[in-house]
Amino acid sequence: MNSFAFVFPGQGSQSVGMLDAWGDHPVVLATLNEASDALREDVAKLIKEGPKEALALTTNTQPVMLVAAVAAYRVWMAETGLAPAAVAGHSLGEYSALVAAGVLTLTQAAPLVRFRAQAMQDAVPVGVGAMAAILGMDAAKVIAGCAEVTSSFDENSLEVVEAVNFNDPGQTVIAGSKAAVEKACEVLKANGAKRALSLPVSAPFHSSLMKPAAEKLKEQLKSIEFMAPQIALINNVDVAVEVDPDRIRDALYRQAFGPVRWVQCVQAIKARGLTSIVECGPGKVLAGMVKRIDPELNGMALLDPTTLADIKTILSGANHA
């Protein structure tokens, strides 16, 4: 019996040299070559050498995070043969989950996420939108505070702020127009939030300001053949497991301007009887969130050969218990 899930990180976990720990693993090299062919550029060089500023560009960040996560997943499967019972991805990470579940190939997904990134960047000029992490406040209070701030502007105003990432019980990310986000940070701190941290991002992801990007993405998704998932995939926007390709496409469209319900996604994984959740790809952000969402869950990060061996030992023991 498989008793674990894999989850895949989104933007923010990228770093120059993030695949170096895998050395010249043939599966990683093959994955980089496949992505380079699909994107018509040297993805391995971009990841290995950067520079950091290049990796931070949304149009680069989204494809390289996809490639790094898929590479780690493929190494795991090649080395262990242990498939997860469920997968999910945080924001952009949902596309890595789609590849892991067999819905899309990497050759399909890499250009798709670059298209998505460009559409998102084009939807809101740099400097017009913003995002911030609100720490130490209940999500319902964050939602109420955002609604209060949005309604405080003139009804014909384009100023808007919304709760867009429900990351863990004490962390909710807000996004929208720069002025509204700044005002919301002040209001939420006055209402009891411990901290309000501005995030270094180039667009207000998952907010209603992304609707123009989502419409472009919707058209692009129509042109791509989706396969039925081979592994249960819990999506961000509905916290649902879809098998029909059209419903998967629609969820991806709505995810672009809808919230990432990560707390509920992790709870849904647990509801399937899975207590071990492995973050697959660079960083340990999701593994940390898993433990804060539910201390009974075992959150682990697969990011190099050492962690792979450790996780394999832990899960093999669980599988044969």
Q: Which residues are catalytic?
A: 91, 206
Residue 53 three-state SS: helix
Nearest to 211 by CA among 243, 176, 144, 257: 257
Residue type, 127: G
Cβ-based neighbour number of residue 158 at 10 Å? 12
Nearest to 169 by CA among 293, 259, 294, 264: 293
Nearest to 141 by CA among 177, 178, 166: 166
**CA–CA distance, 187 with 181 (Å, rounded to integer):** 10
Q: Which residues contact 40 (CB under 8 A, 6 or more apart)?
A: none
Phi, psi of 174, rounded to the nearest 5 degrees: -110, 155
DSSP 234: B
**CA–CA distance, 273 with 43 (Å, rounded to integer):** 38
Residue type, 264: Q
Q: Is 227 exposed, middle or buried (0-12, 13-18, 19+ CB in 10 A)?
A: middle
